[in-house]
Amino acid sequence: MDQIRVTGGNALSGVIPISGAKNASLPLMIASLLTDDTLTLENVPHLADVESLIRILGNHGVDYSVTGRRQAEDSNYARTVHFTARNIVDTTAPYELVSKMRASFWVIGPLLARMGEARVSLPGGCAIGTRPVDLFIQSLSALGADIEIENGYVHASAKDGLKGAHYRFPKVSVGATHVMLMAASLAKGDTIIENPAREPEVVNLADCLNAMGAKIEGAGTDEIRVTGVTSLAGARHRVIPDRIETGTYAMAVGMTGGDVLLKGARADLLDSALGVLREAGIEITDVDDGVRVYRNGNGLMPVDVRTDPYPGFPTDLQAQLMGLMTRSTGTAHITETIFENRFMHVQELARLGADISLSGQTATVRGVPVLKGAPVMATDLRASVSLVIAGLAAEGDTTVNRVYHLDRGFERLEAKLQACGADIERISG
């Protein structure tokens, strides 16, 4: 099993290209099920989750081809992928596939809308929380779907097609918003979605669906209106830059000091997070070709943060911020409101010498003058990269185990950091 070794102490300087967003790519790929034409997606990252979803879509009959660099020697690594779901050969998403990646459950929306039925395995829990599917079921039921749960599968049917509805999400859910948008696009009549997720990835999906012929207004606001159409066509669409990757590398620069251009990043996609980093004493400038991040070695100021749905501070940057705050000049408080089990990285950071205590959903982080390298274990995607951030500033070597978590969401992490002076390498096991 691969490991990543980090020897801390080097400031970062140079250019880091920001990849296409994983959290945007996955629903866009699933949207290919809505049409028998070809959907072409530009700027698709090369990630384990993307490759897993390609295999899952193939199970339903989706063909794909790739244009662009397959090798990773170029810093401008990105791919254009063409998806064609001309013939849906199977409307069942089996447990052995859905269990590998939770987002694959989202195929239930387009399969139901296009084929009139879908049978999808319940995804179960995951390391950072249970994340139930009740909001998916409620929203699809509002569109007229008949839904039964039996033997661990959700069986949804709409023999006469889905019908537009007025539905209010009782709780913000990014995944359920993606699914309802895709399903409502082919429903008969108008759909009004209140309290939807407002994340940029939702807007990116709505823009793609509109390019395919859907009629969606209000994505990114607290109310989305969808006028159903009888069919969707193919389109060409670009995946937005990954705002979580942007925030992660900004924190890495803040942790080590240095001066890095995050090429292709869009500051407008993560205003809240960049505002927090500025409060911590990191200089961040929006420039023509990305975002420049700079810290000259001054101490990091402690910040208090609460994770919230967009436009609040992203839960997907909580672990990274905690890693950063381990070296602040005071005491920071980080409250997690989205997932109930997303503090598993605390004990691993403590192995590096971090001083962190937990009370309910709030972590109190007391900055320490020195972190020291140690073997640590990744527990989930974002937790794994928080350990890398801490290791960049720790004395000696930090070895991160279970780096397959990293490969799910960070494209060429070691190469990007190496190019800016980090002493980091992957050790194949």
Token pair for 400: 């991160």
Query: Does the annotation flag 98 for ligand binding?
Result: no
What pairs with residue 188 in β-bridges? 163
Query: Does the annotation flag 173 for ligand binding?
Result: yes
Helical (H) or strand (E) element with 51: helix 48-59
Query: Does the annotation flag 198 for ligand binding?
Result: no
In the block, residue with structure tokens 């140079």:
14
> In terms of Cα–Cα distance, which of 21, 40, 41 is closest to 264?
21
Query: Does the annotation flag 372 for ligand binding?
Result: no
3-state secondary structure of 278: helix
Distance, CA of 119 to CA of 150 (rounded, Å)? 10
What pairs with residue 235 in β-bridges? 39
Query: Does the annotation flag 135 for ligand binding?
Result: yes
Is 110:120 a contact under the CB 8 Å cutoff? no
Given strand 190-194, what is the order of strands in its sheet? 166-168, 190-194, 223-227, 215-217
Query: Does the annotation flag 303 for ligand binding?
Result: no
Query: Does the annotation flag 131 for ligand binding?
Result: yes
| Dihedral sign, Cα of residue 86, residue 115, residue 235, residue 271 | negative
Instruction: Count CB-CB contacts under 10 A for residue 132.
Output: 12
420 is catalytic: no
Please give the C-alpha separations between residue 260 and each of 76, 251, 287, in angstroms, as whole numbers: 16, 11, 12
Cis peptide upstream of residue 123 (ω within 30 degrees of 0): no
Query: Does the annotation flag 132 for ligand binding?
Result: yes
Query: Does the annotation flag 263 for ligand binding?
Result: no
Is 117:161 a contact under the CB 8 Å cutoff? no
Name the DSSP letter for residue 103: G
Distance, CA of 303 to CA of 135 (rounded, Å)? 33
What pairs with residue 57 in β-bridges? none
- Residue 182, sorted as left (phi over 0), alpha (psi -120 to 50) or beta, turns out to be alpha
Out of 15, 126, 301, 368, pick the active-site residue: 126
Distance, CA of 63 to CA of 43 (rounded, Å)? 18
- Residue 131, sorted as left (phi over 0), alpha (psi -120 to 50) or beta, turns out to be left
Query: Does the annotation flag 90 for ligand binding?
Result: no
Is 254:324 a contact under the CB 8 Å cutoff? yes
Query: Does the annotation flag 69 for ligand binding?
Result: no
Distance, CA of 131 to CA of 115 (rounded, Å)? 27
Query: Does the annotation flag 291 for ligand binding?
Result: no
For β-strands 223-227 and 258-263, DSSP reports them as unpaired
Distance, CA of 249 to CA of 291 (rounded, Å)? 11
Q: In sequence order, what are the residues at sequence separation of 6 or more whose Cβ sits closer than 8 angstroms to the Cβ of residue 155? A: 117, 118, 119, 147, 148, 149
List, as residue ranges, the binding site for phosphoenolpyruvate.
22-23
Annotated binding site: 22-23, 102, 131-135, 171-174, 316, 338
Residues of each annotated binding site for UDP-N-acetyl-alpha-D-glucosamine: 102, 131-135, 171-174, 316, 338
Q: Which residues are catalytic?
A: 126
